[in-house]
Structure 1
Amino acid sequence: MKRNRLPRRARQTPDSELLTRLATRLSQSSNRVEDAWWEARLAAHIDHLLANDGEETLVAVLDQLYNGGSRAYDELADMVESCAETRRAEGNSGLDAVMIAVPLLAWSRFQIPSGGIPAAQLEAVRVHLQAHVLAADAKLGLSDILYSPDQLPQSYVATAQLAEKLAKAAIHGRNLKIDPAQLSETMNFLSDTRYLLGAVAAPRGTALFRWQEDDGDPAESFRQWAQQGGDALRPLLPACAIEFLPVLAYHAAVRDADRASRPWSLRSAVAFLQTVLNQPAAELRAVVAPFHDRQLEEYRIGFTQRGSSDVVHGVVWPLLENEDENNDAPTQIEAALREAGVSSVLMLDQRFPLEFCDDCGAPLYPNPEGEPVHAELPEDQAEAAPRHLH
């Protein structure tokens, strides 16, 4: 998940000064023994801030280190994520727990479901996760909600609070009941990501995941999960095309899903347009252009029919993590479009402003003449489209 970091002067506090010093010393360490020494102290301070609503301090120091181009930023970012999603055993006989995410990509002409999961289906998912993803002695706790991206925790502190609840559920081998009314409203997109969140717990020093065991293999674990676990999850998403992604620790899973969702959105858009326009992909043209604010923020892809300049649909390809103007997004976008069957791809290289429609707030997409315009399906097909489009 990309963090937009704008230059600002952060007020220094004892907490922020200590956080900066520990992260900097860790980044300067020259051996694993010293790494462990600094990591333990940095983790203890981050745990203190997470437990005491120290989000502002964490984000301010991350901003400062990021803007300074320091290696300490990577060390601190990794440690903050680890502390937010992990619960460590109090003693050698206790259980360590890690918050996990079960991500999947979906697209549909209808609304992609989210919300509560019936108990029988949640139990079926639990059985397959235990069989194909978790180590033999690991315990599992699952939330009873299928989350949309809008409903995921929006801060490190919120993530840590949810991880704490899920860890307790895992230690007792039960599921966590979530009140859907307390979650944000899910927007309706043509293609989107859904997440099942949980936690896995195991005695300190033992395996959490199947692939940590002597005969385990990550690729085989994922294949079995996608096949067997997919059968348990598909009934939750009727009338949807689905692609399953590997089950990982929370932040890693969300990052992977963010990356995978970009080519998925393009493939979904092409499949959607073939359906509503009743035309093969070869009759579509894609116009790709970079859109800037203070810096390059994203690429936008406008789709037209061959021989027309009217943009009938659009997709946003956001930059993620450390991607910048030197990224290879145009190559990735063109490859994904051609794989989906679109042979006419026009790449524009002029800078476009990050503009949105004044009336509805939708992004404006490039047309073949190099103008940012509103995407509009022909009137007789417009009713087939969801209101919001990725």
Structure 2
Amino acid sequence: MKRTRFSRRNKQTPDTEQLIRLSGQLSQSASRLEDAFWESRLTSLVERLLADNDEAALNAALDHLYGAGGRAYDELADMVESCSEIRHNENADVVLIAVPVLAWSRFTIPSGAVAADNLASVRAQLHGHVLARDAKLGLADFLFSPDQLPQSYCDTAQLAEKLAKAALHGRDLKLDPQQLPETVPFLSDVRYLLGAVAAPRGAPLFRWQEEDGSRSDALKHWRAQGGEAIRPLLPACATELLLPQAYHAAAREADRASRPYSLRAGVAFLQTTLNMAAGELRAIVAPYYDRQLEEYRIGFTRTDSGDVIHGVVWPMLDSEDDATDTAAQIEAVLREAGVGEVVMLDHRFPLEYCDDCGAPLYPNPEGEPVHAELPEEQAEAAPRHLH
């Protein structure tokens, strides 16, 4: 989940000023004891603001600290994320988790309500391979697209509270699909199951926290066995399961993993749709700027044509910028996918979109931003929106 922020003109309240002060003090702490002192006070303030649904104060402090640079921004962002996804009571620790799945399909990637028997199968596999022995689990009965996830820290905290109660009773949470927005169909995308994991205070929550567990083993077994439980939720889709973990960390990892996955999916889609080999494809890679480097766009053509038939957006995340070797990473993914020709453009492109449909414009071999259009005979079978 990208943390990059653009400054807004938010009025600083006393709560905002206190957030800024405590975060700055925590960032300058020189010992674990002092860390605990400032963390305790910052935690109390953030939890109160979340309970009061005061998103504005949190965002104003984050915007100020992001513009100021230094470690204080990360300290506050970590604290806000932690307080929105973690719950404690006298007997248990509870954390909001996300179960991310990368998917692509020539058809619509499903989202929405999940049947009880399908949810029970996922629950069994999570208990078997991801969660600690004494952990309890509560799952929401909904398969989320990215735009159906909680849209603010306060929304996240409210969902965490509901799921924490469900987890402590070992049951699932029923959601009203009418309360969630529709999702835009993409060729490749991420889907999430959300839940909460509860364990006795100080006890392991996840399998890798136990003496004989590891993250790599948990992911391997989850992919091998959990895939069978996830498959009925995503019919006619190619999928790749990521490690279920704490909500914000899982969402960030899904953002990162979805970029190379979208490129590989784009190549596979063109091979399948156009009945051609990957070696017959050309990829044109170009950087796109607003005030800073925002993303790379990759236009695909046949090697014997200059017409852009598909496009993929590779967004910049976290602290990535011009100095990051992102272009080399994109080229490596394309080479591994078997693309026959890769053209790297190094001049700055403006963020341009189609005036009619709002779709991104992608670079062609001459370095011109153009609309991606499949040949007419294949266009009807493709998703409306292509990343």
Aligned to 1:79: 79
Match 1:116 to one of 113, 134, 153: 113
Q: Aligned residue for 1:221?
A: 218
* Cα shift at 1:4: 4.8
Deviation digits for residues 201-250 of structure 1 (CA, Å, limit 9, x no counterpart): 11111111111111112111111111111111101111110001001100
Read off the aligned partner of 1:78 and give its amino acid letter: D
- Which residue in the other structure is 1:230 paired with? 227
Q: 1:324 aligns to what?
A: 321
CA contact (8 A) 2:267 2:337 kept: yes
Mark the CA change 1:6 to 1:222 in structure 2 (over 3 Å): closer, same or farther: closer
Which residue of structure 1 aligns with residue 330 of structure 2? Answer: 333
Equivalent residue, structure 2, for 1:360: 357
SS at match of 2:140: strand
State the TM-score, normalizing by the size of structure 2: 0.98
Q: How many residues align?
A: 387
Deviation at 1:2? 2.3
Partner deviation per Cα, 1:169-211 (whole Å, 9 max, x = no partner) = 0001000001111111111100000000000011111111111
Partner of 2:195: 198
Partner of 1:311, secondary structure, is: coil
- State the distance in 2 between where 1:140 and 1:223 align: 21
TM-score, normalized by length of structure 1? 0.98
* 1:8-47 alignment, distance < 5 Å: 8-47=8-47
> 1:293: Cα distance to partner?
1.0
The match for 1:270 among 248, 267, 270 is 267
Match of 2:205 among 200, 208, 229: 208
Report Cα offsets for 1:120-172 as digits up to 9, x if no partner.
11111111111111111111000000100010001000000000000000001
- Whole-angstrom distance in 1 between the partners of 2:308 and 2:37: 57
Query: How far did 1:260 drift?
Result: 0.3
**Correspondence 1:132-143 to 2 at 5 A:** 132-143=129-140
SS at match of 2:196: strand
Per-residue CA deviation, residues 304-341 of structure 1 (Å, 9 max, x unaligned), is: 00121110000000011111121121011001101110
Letter in 1 for 2:359: A
Q: For 2:7 and 2:34, how far apart are their aligned partners in 1?
A: 32
Equivalent in the alignment of 1:160: 157
Secondary structure in structure 1 of the residue aligned to 2:158? helix
Q: Which amino acid aligns with 2:353?
A: F
Deviation at 1:343, TM superposition (A): 2.9
**C-alpha contact (below 8 Å) 1:2/1:322 kept by paired residues:** no
SS of alignment partner, residue 315 of structure 1: strand
Q: CA deviation digits over 1:16-71, x for unaligned, max 9?
A: 11101110110001111111111111111000010111111111111111111121
d(CA) in 2 for partners of 1:245 and 1:9? 37
Runs (4 or more) in structure 1 with deviation over 3 Å come to: 7-10
RMSD between aligned residues = 1.0
In structure 2, the partner of 1:291 is: 288
Q: What do the CA deviations read for 1:231-286 (whole angstroms, capped 9, x no partner)?
A: 11101111110001001100000000000000000000000001111110000000
Query: 2:2–2:252: 8 Å Cα contact kept in structure 1?
Result: no
- Partner AA of 1:336 in structure 2: V
Q: Is the 8 Å Cα contact of residues 116 and 146 (structure 1) preserved in structure 2?
A: yes
- The aligned amino acid for 2:237 is C
Percent identical residues = 68
Is 1:189 aligned to 2:186, yes or no?
yes
Three-state SS of the structure 1 residue aligned to 2:141 is strand
1:4 and 1:219, CA in 2 relative to 1: closer, same or farther beyond 3 A? closer
The correspondence for 1:312, drawn from 301, 309, 312, is 309
- List per-residue Cα deviations over 1:86-131 (Å, max 9, x = no partner): 0012x3xx21100000001000001111111111111111111111
CA distance in 1, matches of 2:7, 2:315: 21
Q: Give 1:289 deviation, angstroms.
A: 0.4
Secondary structure at 1:194 match in 2: strand
Counterpart residue type for residue 63 of structure 1: D
- Give secondary structure in 1 for the equivalent of 2:108: coil
What runs of 5+ residues in structure 2 fail to find an aligned partner?
Answer: none
Q: How does 1:43-58 map to 2 (within 5 A)?
A: 43-58=43-58
